[in-house]
A and B are shown apart, each in its own frame.
Chain A
Amino acid sequence: MKEQLPALIIVVPLLTALLCPLVARFSTKLLRGLGIAAVLLSFLSAVGALGHALTEGPWHYYFGNWLPPWGIEYVIDPLSGVMAVLISFLSLAVLFYAGSFGREEGRLKKGIFYTLYLLLTSGLLGMVVTGDVFNLYVFLEISSLSAYALIAAGGDKATVSTFRYVLVGTVGASFYLLGVGYLYALTGSLNMADLAVRLQPLLDSRAVLVAMVFILVGMGIKMALFPLHGWLPDAYTYAPPAVIPFIAGAMTKVMVYVLFRYFFFVFGIMNGFVPIVLEVLGWLAALGIILGSVMAIAQSDFRRMLAYSSVAQVGYIALGLSLGNFFGFIGGVLHIINHALMKSCLFLVAGGVKWKTGEYLIEKYAELGNRMPLTMGAFLVGALSMVGIPPTAGFFSKWYLILGALEKDLWLYVVVIVLSSLLNAIYFFRVIENAYLKKAPVAGKEIRGEKKKAELPIPMLVPLVVLGVSILLVGILNEPLISNILQYAFPGGGL
């Protein structure tokens, strides 16, 4: 059993997804148990595989025993292992939380919800662990298609914003596939490790540059890199509150991970045209950080504010990638972890407040600090981490990004990072002010629960608190995390 762990990460949620509509006919409790069990099993496999990769080096799993470059291989190295653990952890937390929504829906709809959710999970996990560029495309489309369907479930406005997302997302996927076509035409291989070897003599050819740009544009659309972020705010705003914490937390991060995988492990960070492409990426990221933060200040809807802040935060990760040195890599990967946890946590808060009071507008958050102390406590941790106040996790990733920028004498990037932290502070303190300092003019509405002080139900509260605590833990334990795991994720094994 142990030697099949990398496959189990993907196969368990994939097969369970097919069972869900069937199980839904019999019992919704069994359905929920089955879904959670599948993601839990996937999470445990990911932890096991990561442990194995750390003690005994990268783990190559050959599907059907076809050796690469002919067959498809899954690769668990420290980077993909960490990502797989992170995604399955988030998926588990949000699935636990999602049960409180849509209780009044029919059984078939619940079954389909679990199917789509598990497909999305296995698609994202597949993108992370696969070692084959075309296989990555297939998983990309599995996760995107299920995300489209999940977001469209958010109501009438959601259908329009999803349609726009489908169009733009498919353009992104087509660009990616075209880039893969160029790489295949150049080398005749689709395996990442094999590509890295075969591309070495070709790195100065313009065709590699074109492939690089196509892949960058494709993934840039999917990860909402400025100025390709147009689809994101509407899609995140109108999506149903039960799934958006997972989609916002995991999806864009996986797309950035793909870029990390390509630029550090396939093309090689110092080779050929890569530094030029990365420089362009760095400027776009810096622009996105500032403009995303400014747009977030202008929003009155909490979800829309978080969506624009996602554009800015993805910019940080892309900035770390574009630096191309050790500190940039560590800062970027650490920020992938931090931002996934923070954004999920904040969207869980948004969903919880909606569940309790029916409101999304920031001005309606008055007195919530009193009424929902634990929920708002988790919000406070997430918000402080977004701003980057120690000892929360957000501080340390920004610290490493600044170190990386200083090493390359890019002072402007340092200014951008500090400035955007101030902008973050402006829009998060506005929410904090509303929740803790302002008095509500009329007594706040309660659409659920009799007692005024009642918190959220336990299944919603537990994921919130767990994510809040994990943000603090990643912050406090960032040094062991880096020296024991992330350091080995850097190609060449760190300093």
Chain B
Amino acid sequence: MKEFFAEYFVYWLIFILFMLGPYGIIFKKNLVKKLMAMNIMQVAVILFFLALGQKAGGTIPINVPGLVGAVNYINPLPHALMLTAIVVSLATLGVSLSLLLLIQKHYGVLEEDELLRRMNQ
């Protein structure tokens, strides 16, 4: 049981977070909620990479005097990659929020069914 929590539990949590994304995008009717679901999905992928870089007993990857060998440090590469991914998700969020502003300004609504009705008028 302890091993399960230590080794796999985090991946199950990430899996649930990841699947919240498609669920929200498909089933929620409000565009802002859809956007939140999309962002949760991106965060889940970021967490997945960070969990890969982690290891028990490792310290932050800054050279500590007297501590030699890769065993003593966690893997810094996933963190570096995810900094880029965070910037990407920020940019995506910015673009989609400005799109939502435009939609709200023109159609006056962010609920999907009402929006579709007004679009087809």
Contact = CB atoms under 8 A, between A and B. Distances in A.
A173 B96 CA distance: 15
A66 interface: no
A162 interface: yes
A163 B99 contact: yes
Contacts of B99: 148, 152, 159, 162-163, 166
Interface of B: 18, 21-22, 25, 31, 34-35, 38, 41-42, 44-45, 48-49, 52, 78, 81, 84-85, 88, 91-92, 95-96, 99-100, 102-103, 106-107, 115, 119
Contact of B38 (A134, A141, A157, A171): A171
Contacts, number: 74
B103 A160 contact: yes
Contact of B103 (A159, A167, A170, A184): A159
A177 B84 CA distance: 12
B49 A141 contact: no
B45 A167 contact: no
Given A156-B107, A159-B106, A167-B38, A174 B21 contact: yes
Contacts of A166: 38, 92, 95-96, 99
B56 to A, nearest CB: 16
A174 B42 contact: yes
Given A167-B35, A170-B41, A174-B45, A184 B52 contact: yes
A190 B51 CA distance: 17
A170 B38 contact: yes
A406 interface: no
A171 B21 contact: yes
Contacts of A134: 81, 84
B44, B99, B115: most-surrounded residue (chain A CB, <10 A): B99
15 contacts: A134-B81, A145-B91, A156-B107, A159-B99, A159-B103, A166-B38, A170-B41, A170-B92, A171-B21, A171-B41, A174-B21, A174-B42, A177-B85, A181-B48, A184-B49
B84 A178 contact: no
B43 to A, nearest CB: 10
Given A162-B99, A171-B41, A156 B106 contact: yes
B95 A149 contact: yes
Nearest to A148: B95
Contacts of B107: 156, 160
A160 B95 contact: no
Contacts of A156: 102, 106-107
Contacts of A148: 95, 99
Contact of A138 (B25, B41, B84, B95): B84
A478 to B, nearest CB: 39
Contacts of A171: 21-22, 25, 38, 41
For chain A, the bracket of interface size reads 20 to 34
A422 interface: no
Interface string A182-208: 001100000000000000000000000
Contacts of B25: 167-168, 171
Interface in A244-265: none
Contacts of A184: 49, 52, 78
Contacts of A170: 38, 41-42, 92
B81 to A, nearest CB: 6
A168 B99 CA distance: 15
Which 9 residue pairs are nearest across A and B when measured between Cβ atoms? A159-B102, A141-B88, A163-B99, A156-B106, A166-B96, A177-B45, A174-B41, A174-B45, A185-B52
B30 to A, nearest CB: 12
B102 A152 contact: yes
Interface string A131-170: 0001001100100010011001000110110110011101
A254 to B, nearest CB: 18
A229 B99 CA distance: 21
A226 to B, nearest CB: 18
Nearest to A162: B99
Nearest to B34: A167
Contacts of B100: 163
A387 B100 CA distance: 40
Interface in A343-360: none
A171 B40 CA distance: 11
Given A141-B91, A166-B99, A177-B85, 10 more contacts: A134-B84, A145-B92, A145-B95, A159-B103, A160-B103, A166-B95, A167-B25, A167-B38, A174-B18, A174-B45
Given A174-B21, A177-B85, A163 B31 contact: yes
A221 to B, nearest CB: 11
A181 B18 contact: no
A181 B78 CA distance: 9
Contacts of B91: 141, 145
A382 to B, nearest CB: 31
B103 A163 contact: yes
Nearest to A146: B95
